[in-house]
Structure formats: structure tokens, C-alpha cells
């Protein structure tokens, strides 16, 4: 699980660097995807990590009152980086304490019926990140731009994959 969470962070940061290269205006442009812009999609991904790993896993529901996590309040790459760093700090703290027992602990969230394990939550967040990054990839292709590498082996082992 730790390896998966580290991979997710690496991929997120690669996409963030890609956004920086395109500039803030391009990052905030409405692309007609689920969360409108690439920037808002990236903020949503961080929101998901925070919701599952801070609110649900640590029962710290007050994070939802923090306006700094709202896409409309992320107004620069510096704001995005500060939010990412805050979320990754929480993810790293959770990850460092993972044990089999901790992974089997139940978590419950108000937006989904049922009870889940922390392990389920890790997979939920990881796959949700991949789905949303897929939206960014697709909308980038529409304007003939490539996206960062997100394949597991190249990302984790640093190998290069030829691009068509």
C-alpha cells in the first residue's frame, strides 16, 4: 500500500509539473471535463485524499470547513503546491503507520453507503486519481498535447517508454 501511495504522489506531481509548463491560465481553462479545468481536477484529487485519509481515517471532519481546500480559493501554482504539501504530509503520516491491522480498520463516510476498510479507501483514492488524470489526458489529446508518463513500471523504476 505504501508503494501504491508513493506512486500516486509521483504521478500527481508529474501532472502538476506539466500544468506549470502550460501556465496558470491554461491550467484554469474550462475543458468540459468532470471538474471543468485541469487545475480544479487536480484540487479535487487532493480533496479526495484529504476526505478519505484525514476526515474518514482519522475522524477529523473539520477539514471540510477549511476554505483553503476549495478549488475557487486555489489561485496560483503556489497555492496548489501548499495544498498538495499539506495533503501529502497527512498521507505520509498515515502511510508510515500502516499495518495489516490498520488496513483492516473500518472507515465510514457520509457520501457513500456502507462501511469500508482503510485498505478499500486506499484503492478508492488511487483509482479515482487515475480516472481523473485520464480526463486530463483525454482533454489534452483534444488540443494535441501529451501528458506525463503514468505507467507503473516507468514511474517506479525510472525506465523510459518509447512514444509513438
* Domain ranges across the chain: 2-151
What are 9-42's pLDDT values in tens digits? 999 999 999 999 999 999 999 999 999 999 999 9
Largest distance between two CA atoms of the chain: 47
- pLDDT attached to residue 164: 54
Say yes or no: domain 2-151 is CATH 1.10.3300.10: no
Which residue is listed with cell 501504491?
A: 4
| Separation CA 72–CA 20 (nearest Å) | 18
- pLDDT attached to residue 142: 84
Which residues fall within 8 angstroms of residue 17, CB to CB, at 6 or more apart? 148
Rounded to the nearest angstrom, the gap between the alpha carbon of residue 122 and the centroid of all alpha carbons in its chain is 11
Is residue 58 within 8 Å of 94, Cβ to Cβ? yes
Quick count: other Cβ atoms within 10 Å of Cβ 164? 2
- pLDDT attached to residue 141: 86
Which residues does the chain have with pLDDT short of 70? 162-164
Amino acid at each position: 500500500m505504501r508503494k501504491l501511495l508513493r506512486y500516486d504522489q509521483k504521478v500527481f506531481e508529474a501532472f502538476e509539473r506539466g500544468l506549470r509548463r502550460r501556465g496558470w491560465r491554461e491550467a484554469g481553462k474550462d475543458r468540459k471535463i468532470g471538474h471543468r479545468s485541469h487545475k480544479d481536477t487536480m484540487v479535487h484529487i487532493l480533496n479526495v485524499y484529504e476526505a478519505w485519509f484525514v476526515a474518514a481515517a482519522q475522524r477529523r471532519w473539520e477539514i471540510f470547513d477549511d476554505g483553503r481546500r476549495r478549488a475557487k480559493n486555489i489561485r496560483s501554482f503556489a497555492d496548489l503546491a501548499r495544498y498538495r504539501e499539506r495533503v501529502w504530509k497527512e498521507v505520509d503520516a498515515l502511510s508510515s503507520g500502516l499495518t495489516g491491522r490498520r488496513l483492516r480498520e473500518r472507515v465510514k463516510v457520509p457520501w457513500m453507503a456502507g462501511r469500508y476498510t482503510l485498505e478499500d479507501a486506499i484503492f478508492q483514492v488511487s483509482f479515482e486519481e487515475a480516472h481523473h488524470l485520464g480526463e486530463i489526458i483525454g482533454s489534452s489529446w483534444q488540443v494535441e498535447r501529451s501528458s506525463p508518463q503514468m505507467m507503473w513500471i516507468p514511474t517506479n523504476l525510472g525506465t523510459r517508454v518509447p512514444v509513438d
